[in-house]
Each structure stands twice: as C-alpha cells, then as structure tokens.
Structure 1
Amino acid sequence: MADSVKYHLERMLPELEDLEERGIFSRAEVKSIIKRRTDFEYAIHRRISKKSDYLRYIEYEMNLEKLRKKRKMRLRLDKKPRGKNKSEPNITLSDHSILRRIHQLYHKLLKKFSGDVHLWIQYLEWARQSGSSKLLGKSFARVIQYHPTKPVFWIMAAAWEYEENSNISSARVLLQRGLRLNPESQKLWLEYFKLELLWLIKIRERRRLLFGEGGKPKKSTAVPEPKPNDADKVDVDLDDEDDDDNRDGDEAPTGVSVPSLSEESGLENPLENDPVISKSLTSEPESVLEKSLSPMQKALLELAIPRAIYRNAVKAIASNLPFRLEFLELYRQAGDDTQIGQDEIYQSLATDFGDDPVAISAICERYLTGLTTSDPGFPAALKMAIDEYKEYLTDTSSPVLCTRYLRFLSSCLARTDEENLRAYISKLLRKTFVLAHDLEVAEPTAYIMWSDFVEDKSEKEAALTFGIDRHPTSIELHLAYIKQTMHKGAEFTYSHFQAAVKAAAKQDKHTIWIPFIDWVVSESNLPAKDVERTFNQSATVSELGYSEYETPLLVQYIDWAHKVGGIAKCREVCERLRSLRTRQPEFYERWIQIETELCSQCSSQTSKNKQIKQIRKVYEILIEADTKRHDSWLSCIEFEMEVSGDMTQVTHLHWRALKEVDNQDAFSKGYEALKQRV
C-alpha cells in the first residue's frame, strides 16, 4: 500500500511545482496539500476502503479547484503573456490536473460501487458541469452497460448528445434503444417526445431565418449551432493507465457509443415497425433545411415524428390517462403550431376514456387553450366549452364531472373582468348549482362552492344545509356550516359540533374532534363543565380512545385544566386519566413539565423539596408505564442532576436502569452525554 501511495504522490509533483511557480499557492500551502493528499491516499488504498473516504477526497479536490480558479483570476493568469500567440490558450499543467484527479477518483470509486445509481448521477452531473466532453461520452456508455434498465441514464446521455453535441441522430438512437429495454417507462417516452418537439421547433426557426415568408434565403448556408464559450472549462482525458476504456491510446470520441447489450437480444423495438420513426433515423437531419422539401420531409415538419411517438407510447402503456395528458401539456408548451397533434390526443381520449370525468374535462376545455379572457375569441370559445360540457353531462350525469364543470365555471368567473361575461357565467353557475342539487349529482365540494359563490349569509347557510341533508356524514360540509354559523353563538355551535361528531364515520372522527377541541378551548363563553365533558367524551373508546389522536388531545386537556384550575385541577385530571389505564409517555412528560415549571417558581427550600418529591412520584409513574424505555430513565436522571442535585438518586437510578432497559448502548451513550453536559 505504501508503494502505491508513494507512486501517486510522486506523480503530483509537476503539478504542485507549477502551482507554486505561478504563485497560485505558497510553499507552505503546497506542503499542506501534500499532507492532506497523503492522508486521503492512505485511506483509499487500505484493504477495505469506504465510499466515504473517496467522497471526502473528491470534496477536498473540488474545493481546491475552486480556490485555484479564484486565485488564477485574481492574479490575472488567464491573460496571455506578451509575445505569445493570442489564439493559443494560456493553459499549463495545473489547469487540468485537479480535474483529471477528480475524474480518476470517481472512476476508482465507481469500479468499487458500480451499482450505486445515485453516485453515477452525481459524477455525470459534475462531469457535465466541468465541461469534460471526452470522458462524458465514455462514462455514459459505461453506466448504460452497468444499468441498461435505468431510464435516467439513457435520458441523460441523449440530452447531452442533443444539447452539448447538437447530435439529434445519436440522441434518437439512444432513446429508442432505451425504449427497447424499458418499453413501459413513461419518462423515456415523454423525453423522446420532448426531444422531437424541441428539434422541430429549432428546425422551424432556422427555416424562418433562412427563407423568410417569401421563400428567399437570407443566408447561403445553414445557421451554425452556438457553442458555449467558458474559459474556465478545460476538457480533460484520463491517462491510459487510469482509463480501462482507452488502453489502446486511441483518441476517444466525444459522443456516446454504447455497444450491443446482452439484454437487447431477442427484444423487439416498439418503434422499428413505424415508417415515420424509421425514416427519421435514416435521413440526414440537415436535409429538412433545404428550400425544396419532399412529401416525407414536409410531413416531418408537421409533427409526424411526435405523433408517431405518441401512437406507439399509448400502445405500450395503455389505459393511463395522466400519461396521455402529459403529452398534451408538452404540445401546449411547444406553441400553437402543434394543434394537429393536440387534436389527435383529444380524439384518443374520447375513444379510450369516453366515460372518465378527467378526460371529458380536458376535451371540453380544449377550446380555451392558449386564450386569455381579454382575447376577442374567448367568449365564443367559452360558449363551445360550456355546450360540450352540457352535452356530456346530459349523457353521463356523473357527480365528479358535475363538480369539475362547476369548478371550471368558477375559475372562468374569477379571471374574467368584463361585466356582461361575468353576468352570464354567474347566471349559469347559479342555475347549475340548483340543477345539480335537484338531480342529486352534487358532491360535498359542490355545495361548498355554492356557498362560496353566493353573497347573502342566508343563502350561504341554505346551500350548506342542502349539502348536509344530501351528505350527512361529510365532515367538510359540517365544518363549513359551523364556520358559517359561528355568529349564532357558542351554544348553537357546540350543539352542531356534537351533531357532526355523531354523524362522522369512525375512521373520520379525528377530523371533527380536533377542530372541536380547539374551538372549546378557545371559546370563552362556553361553561367549563361543557369543555371538560367534551374532553372526556373525545377520549372514549367509541371516539378517539386508543387511537394516535388520543394523547395529543389529553395533553390539551391537562393544559386547559392547569390554565383554569391551577396545579390542583391539573393533578386531579392527570390522576383520574392515568387511573383508567396506562397512558402514552407524552402524557406523563407533559405532566412532569408542568410540575417542573412550578418547582422553578418555589420561593423556599421547603416548598421546593416538596415539589421535587411530587415530580419524583410522577417520574416513577412514567418509568413504570414502560420500564424498558431508556428515554424515560434518562429524563429522570437529567432531572436529578439539574434540579435536585442529588447524586445519590442519580447513582441509584443508573443502577436500576441498567437492569431494565432494552437498549443499553443507547442508554449508556445518553448517560455519558448527560454527565458531560451537566
């Protein structure tokens, strides 16, 4: 191991000498770098190296590279020296040596932990940010061979090919191969679809610049792709001995070249039989920039490829409505020129999801896509959407569709300022609310929307009353009604809370009890006996007893008892509740907290000693509730250390706890931490 470490450290000498000669680091700083790197090298070369050793080493090198860049900029070392050809970059060994070392460390780490997907993503993202194009192509090919069934790597590789290398052909091949192995990956289908849309938008824009509206070219050649110009990014490659993929010394291509995978054998490409997709792979991408286009090339510019991808995607992943709606959203983001593709999706929704309220809503609201309320065509489009909604509602009478229709109208009303249009929508909304109620297709949400829509208080209350009559177990309707009728007084509100509790299903009890308890605690006009009766009722078995919501409500109970009746009332409530059955630790801990706060307010030692005795009593109750719970013992010991100061009690408790607790290691660590802190 020592020889290997010495070898790697010796290879760093030219780089460190360069850094010192250029004044980026001082001699003392170089010595510090050597010391840190030596420690890291020994850590990663031991018999069983850890992932964390590599990551700490990588983090150190990344921070060192940031510091080097800052100092180089401050010293203006990026400027060309006088007499040097200005076209040549002012780059020396140290400008790329740290980046190369980070790559080497990542490669060694990924050889040991090749199955760590997150680690691969971390490396690929860093390599892309650092501009390491030569290594990225090989790294993408390598990770895909390790993880061919992980769509994320096919997508990252294709995105890099298209965005950085402007290679649409390679990006297409990568995504199609990814789909052959992962035909049910929604992400892959959507990314392939998005890629073709982006390419189409770019081609259309370039044709507009080349030929204009009159068809005369504005330039004799195609518009070149802009390339990033980042002076801080230095492309690096690994030495032969550090890169198993380039042992022969040949210059590595910058693209992603994935060899044939064993997983691909025998698999059918879901796209290979589609003539449009096949044509896109065989034709040159630049051919669509010619002035005269063949019928096939014209079809490519008219969404032929995205439409073919959608058709194949819905064959591979059928009966998935959200998946299809994502294609629709991508079309909308691409602009108005995608209407033919959107119409195809709407047609497929009507065919395959004709009874689904979500699909029907998308179909009906398509007329308003891309329109604002100020557009002249908005009223006509709104009328068409409303007519189609009505037609569907006549055929299906679906409560869910009715709610979506009401929500659509409410949304249109909220964003409309024109007076006549607002009056039209308001009239239609009022009529629809009444009709939905009469036909018994209004959901609880519809009644709440009805109440929010009308302005008169009596109409609001009437709408919610209608809803409760139709849906007596709806908690949201009861809560809305209670909120609306708060002005009628505490007695009325209390009685309706009680009615709501009785109407609620067992599994929904907590959704009414929690606001009920919050209200009775805050309501000053409610008699204390009613508040106490409410707390006791909430903790019964038929309500919230033995549920996860019981203890928080009981903690509120003792807080309320302490507030209205002092410590005597608090103790009376706590003793009574704990006598019924063993409570959760949080209950006793809150009781102890109240007693401890009282102890800190004692004015005499006599009263303090009496209070300490009371706190010890409650701690014993807490410990007896679960003697194996080490947190209870530690809390009691902490009290004896900090408040009573009785070390005899501390020793005794420690001795008892060691015989009882399950997790003695956790208890011992906690005990040592207490001794250090107190």
Structure 2
Amino acid sequence: MAEIVQQRIEDRIPELEQLERVGLFTKKEVKATALEYKLHRLIVNKEDFIAYIQYEINVLELIKKRRAHIHYHFKREEIEFPIIHRITSLFRRATKKWKDDVQLWFSHVAFCKKWGTKMAISKVFSSMLAIHPDKPALWIMAAKSELEDRDSSESARHLFLRALRFHPNNKKVYQEYFRMELLHCEKLRQQKEQLEKAEMDLGEYEFSPEILSGKLAEVVYRDAVGKIKAGFVISLLNIATIFDFTKELQDLILNDLQTNYTEDSVTWDFMAKRELDAPGAGDELPTAKGRASDINRREERCCQVYEEGVKSLNTEPMWTCYVAFCLERLKRKTNVQELKDKRQERLLTVMQRAHDSSLLKESYYKNWLEILLLSGDAEGAARVAMTATQRYSQSVSVWSLSLQTLMQLGSGDIGRLFQDALTHVNPKVHTHTSSVICVVNSYMKHITDGLYSLVSSQRSLLSPVSAVAMEMKEKYLDWSFSTGGYKKARKTFMSLQENRPLSKAFFTRMIGIEKKQVMCIKHLPETTKKFFLFLHLIKATSSAENETEDQ
C-alpha cells in the first residue's frame, strides 16, 4: 500500500513544483499523504473519498482565488487540469464502489458542470443511467443536460425515447419530452428569424416547415394520449399555451378533449374555467362595479359549462369540481358586496343540489356550515348539521362537526344527536374512538345539569364499547366533582363502580379527589379512612381482572 501511495504522491510532484514556481502555493501548503493512505486501506469508507474529493476541490478554489489575487492566468493545463482529472478519477472510483448512492452521482455531475467538460457530463449520466434505469427523474435530468449544456436536441430526444422504453406510461417523461420538442422548435424559429434579419442565404440550413410548426411535439402528444387520461392531456395543453406558435396544436388537443374525454370530470372542469379567460372588457372598465359585473358574467358562463357537465356526468367528482370552483370564487376578495352576495348564493345553491343528489363530498359540509353560521342562518345551519350525519353516518368527523355546530347554536337537540352518534359510529372500526365524546367534554362548561344528565345517560355510561363507557364514567365523575363537590363525586363513584368496565384512571381520579379533602390520611375520620382503603382495594382488584382478561 505504501508503494501505491508514494507513487501517487510522486505523480503530483510536477504539478506541485509548478504551483510553487508561479507563486500560488508554498511547499508546506499541500499535504495529501494522509488522504491517500485512507483510500488504500483494507476497509475504505465513503466518507474518506468524499473528504479527499472535497480537499481537492478546495485546492482548486484556492488556486482560483490566488490567480485572481496575483493576476496570473497561465499554465492551466499544467496546474488545474491534473487536479480536475484526479477528482474525476476519485468520483469514478467512488461511484463504482457505491453505485446505489444517487447523491454521489449528482455530486459528480455538479463538479463536471463547474470544472469539467460538457462531454464529461454526458459520460457521467450515461454511467448513472446504466445502473439506475428505473428512475424517470434521472432520464429527464440527463435529457435536459444534453439540451441545455450541450445544445444537442438530437441526444436529448434519444434519451427521452430510451426513457419511454423503460417507463412507457410515465406522465412526467412525456411532459418533459413534449416540452423539449417545443423548445427545440422555438429555438429553430428564432435562428431562422435571425438569419432572415441578417439577409443571409438559408440554402445551407435546413428548416423543415413541419418541424417549425411543432409537428414533432404533435407526434409525442399522439403517442401519449393513447396511454394516459384527460388530466394529462390538459397538462400538455398548458405546456403548449406557453409557446406562441402552437395554435393548431392547441386546437387539436382541445378538440380531442371535447370529443374523447367527456366522461371525465377534469375535462368539464378545465373547459368551464377557460371561460374566465375568454375575451372581454375586463380591467379596461372604468369602475369597480363595471369590472365586478364583467367578472360575474364570466363566472355565470363557467357555471353554464358546469351545468352541462352535471347533466352529462352526475357523479361526485363532477359535483366536487363545481363546488370547488364556486368556493374558490367566494374566497376571492372584492369590495363589491353585490358580487360577494351572488357568489355566496351560487355556492349555497350548488351545495344544496349536490347534497340532494347525495353527491356532496364530506369535507364540504364544514364549509357549508361555516357560511351559514357567518350569514346568521341558524335554522339552516342546524338543518344541515342534522342531515350531514344522515349522509355520512359512519364518519366521526361529521358527527363531531355537527355536535359543535348545535352547541354553538345552543340547540336542544344536542343530547339526542350525541346518543345517535354513539349508536352509529363503531369505535372498533374507527381509530378515533373518543373524538365524539371529547367534543362534548370540550363544551362541558356551557352545558346545564339537565343536559349533561341526558348526554351522560345510561346509554353512554353502559355502552357495550369499553372505550366509550370508561371515558364517559371518568368525565361524569369529573363533572360531578366540579358541580357538586366531594359528596356528589363520592355518590357518583359509588353508583358507577358497580358497572364494569372501569378504567384505572377512574379510580385514580377518585383517589385524587379524596386526597384533596385532607393533607394527611391519619387525620381522616374513620369512615373516610375505610372508604380510602376501599378505593385502593377496588383499584387493585380491577387491575388484576384486566390483566387476567389480557392473558
């Protein structure tokens, strides 16, 4: 090993002598012996390679700074090039040993971009793709590098075609391939325009009319649409709209959307939103009211398209697109109250129709209730809260939302709704067993004695679901102590401890209540002492029973 290290160090002597001769470094400034030894141990770490590479890069950076400081810009072939070659060799050895480390490959690419040659980048990507052909992002990066760094559209196209062999249904690969062809087309058009301005003969240059009009991108589009759905087609259309020479291609894609993808809600959503950008007076109108009126007309045209969509495609995704559009427009700020009122009325109408069709998405009930409460429609909010639980009777979040709404309104139906929640929601299925109960407990300070008695009736306290029964007993005990003091808490405890199941926390809380009454157990009356010991006995017995059941 020592011979190899010594040989590598001696190979650097001409380079070091040159650095000293031109005044960039001194003799004591360059020491690589320790790093070389690390790379030739029996067990080599990746960190050793990275440290050596970083050391060499730091040397390059220092040379660059000192060149600028002393204004010396000669002998690069004898100074920088050997270091760059050595770093490239280190990267090659490291990536050969740790092939799966993609970040190491990226570091090599980044180094080549800054210090290497364009051909070196291509070689690195080629080696990386031979090992990682299953990663579409790497193919895209390699193709972009060919197009941007080497200005080679042919090589980029070749890489995209190879990528599609490995990933024939990958949307991102198709999108970037499509974009690349349009960028290439735009570049050719700019070159032709510059040559024409310079009045040069175009005979020796080949500018195919088909390529200049974006036919290659159209070929990519036709190949893609046979495999991927409407949302992807729209993404290609959005890319095409960036370029000002793709009108024919855009018309082709739009026609395909309207002909072949009407069974997809994404198509209707896209076509409806296009009406917002349709030609009109827009910002040219002098008054805020005039602009608001123009915006309202555009939104009405959007809604007409959505209406056609729900007639043709009466599905939850279609109604979701319609509601999402109306909700997004309502959230937009406007100083014109009339426009805001129309947007709110439109949204409430669409939500009601979607609900009547049993196609309103669960998450939109929250938005619906918020709007009704803000507008002061308490009756409507209560009605929606109750009907939402009928639509999604197994949803914990819907029951919680409905309970919160009725509490906020001070409704007398809260007790009945809570009992219905315990009946319909199966805690064995839903992981958030206690969320419905916690909603009630969070509002406990606002609940009257009578209402709490209703909420904590025998149905919940004796629920067959252990989690519900145990938690309600704990909360009932807490409530008894906070409203009636120690005596009421003891009475509640004595009545509940006969009914299993009981949690450890139930006994712990009662013990805590007893401890609050006195500072020391020896000063307690005899009856209280017995009761205190009784609590410990029950707690121990309950724990033993639970352990037996677990076994």
TM-score when normalising by structure 1: 0.59
2:363 is equivalent to residue 365 of structure 1: no
Residue of structure 2 equivalent to 1:468: 389
Residue of structure 1 equivalent to 2:58: 66
Give the Cα separation in 2 of the matches to 1:541 and 1:66. Answer: 71
Residue of structure 1 equivalent to 2:212: 301
Secondary structure of 2:8's counterpart equals helix
2:250 is equivalent to residue 331 of structure 1: no
Change (3 A) 1:392 1:72: closer
The one of 354, 357, 364 aligned to 2:262 = 354
- Matched AA of 2:307: K
| Gap regions ≥5 residues in structure 1 | 82-87, 212-216, 223-282, 289-296, 603-613, 626-678
Give the Cα separation in 2 of the matches to 1:167 and 1:538. Answer: 75
Q: Is the Cα–Cα contact under 8 Å of residues 513 and 538 in structure 1 kept in the other structure?
A: no
- Tell me the CA shift for residue 495 of structure 1: 5.7
- Tell me the CA shift for residue 164 of structure 1: 0.8
Give the Cα separation in 1 of the matches to 2:81 and 2:63. Answer: 15
Secondary structure of 1:461's counterpart equals helix
Give the Cα separation in 2 of the matches to 1:161 and 1:368. Answer: 39
Residue of structure 2 equivalent to 1:385: 302
Give the Cα separation in 2 of the matches to 1:491 and 1:101. Answer: 81
The one of 461, 477, 491 aligned to 2:398 = 477
Change (3 A) 1:204 1:467: farther
- Tell me the CA shift for residue 22 of structure 1: 5.7
- Tell me the CA shift for residue 163 of structure 1: 0.3
Give the Cα separation in 1 of the matches to 2:281 and 2:158. Answer: 43
Residue of structure 2 equivalent to 1:11: 11
Number of residue pairs the alignment of both structures matches: 492
- Tell me the CA shift for residue 129 of structure 1: 4.3
Task: Write the mapping of 1:189-338 to structure 2, written as runs, cut at 5 A.
Answer: 189-205=174-190, 210=194, 217-220=196-199, 287-288=206-207, 297-315=208-226, 317-318=227-228, 320-332=229-241, 334-335=242-243, 338=246
Change (3 A) 1:187 1:469: closer
Secondary structure of 1:444's counterpart equals coil
Give the Cα separation in 2 of the matches to 1:309 and 1:449. Answer: 42
Task: Write the mapping of 1:588-627 to structure 2, written as runs, cut at 5 A.
Answer: none
Residue of structure 1 equivalent to 2:528: none
Q: Is the Cα–Cα contact under 8 Å of residues 179 and 239 in structure 2 kept in the other structure?
A: yes
- Per-residue CA deviation, residues 301-352 of structure 1 (Å, 9 max, x unaligned), is 333222221110122x24x4443343234334x2565454344334434444
Task: Write the mapping of 1:545-564 to structure 2, written as runs, cut at 5 A.
Answer: none
- Tell me the CA shift for residue 441 of structure 1: 4.0
Change (3 A) 1:350 1:57: same
User: What percent identity do the matched residue pairs reach?
Assistant: 21
Give the Cα separation in 1 of the matches to 2:119 and 2:387. Answer: 70
TM-score when normalising by structure 2: 0.70
- Tell me the CA shift for residue 422 of structure 1: 4.2
Give the Cα separation in 2 of the matches to 1:488 and 1:349. Answer: 47
- Tell me the CA shift for residue 178 of structure 1: 2.9
| Gap regions ≥5 residues in structure 2 | 285-293, 520-535
Residue of structure 2 equivalent to 1:235: none
Give the Cα separation in 2 of the matches to 1:76 and 1:385. Answer: 64
Change (3 A) 1:19 1:360: same
Task: Write the mapping of 1:50-65 to structure 2, written as runs, cut at 5 A.
Answer: 50=44, 53-65=45-57
Change (3 A) 1:192 1:394: same
- Tell me the CA shift for residue 11 of structure 1: 1.9
Change (3 A) 1:364 1:451: same
Task: Write the mapping of 1:92-171 to structure 2, written as runs, cut at 5 A.
Answer: 93-114=78-99, 117=102, 119-148=104-133, 150-171=135-156
The one of 380, 404, 414 aligned to 2:321 = 404
Secondary structure of 2:206's counterpart equals helix
Q: Is the Cα–Cα contact under 8 Å of residues 175 and 188 in structure 1 kept in the other structure?
A: yes
Q: Is the Cα–Cα contact under 8 Å of residues 365 and 388 in structure 2 kept in the other structure?
A: yes
Change (3 A) 1:435 1:497: same
The one of 36, 39, 54 aligned to 2:37 = 39
Residue of structure 1 equivalent to 2:533: none
Change (3 A) 1:448 1:183: same
- Matched AA of 2:318: L
Residue of structure 1 equivalent to 2:291: none
Single out whichever of 351-360 and 116-125 deviates more from structure 2: 116-125
Give the Cα separation in 1 of the matches to 2:456 and 2:114. Answer: 65
- Per-residue CA deviation, residues 504-547 of structure 1 (Å, 9 max, x unaligned), is 2446644462364266267445699989979x9699773658xx
Residue of structure 1 equivalent to 2:169: 184
Give the Cα separation in 1 of the matches to 2:29 and 2:401. Answer: 69
Q: Is the Cα–Cα contact under 8 Å of residues 331 and 338 in structure 1 kept in the other structure?
A: yes
Task: Write the mapping of 1:389-468 to structure 2, written as runs, cut at 5 A.
Answer: 389-415=306-332, 417=334, 421-454=339-372, 455-458=375-378, 459-468=380-389
Residue of structure 2 equivalent to 1:2: 2
What is the Cα-based RMSD across aligned positions, in Å?
5.1
Give the Cα separation in 2 of the matches to 1:375 and 1:501. Answer: 55
Give the Cα separation in 2 of the matches to 1:129 and 1:17. Answer: 25
- Tell me the CA shift for residue 158 of structure 1: 1.6
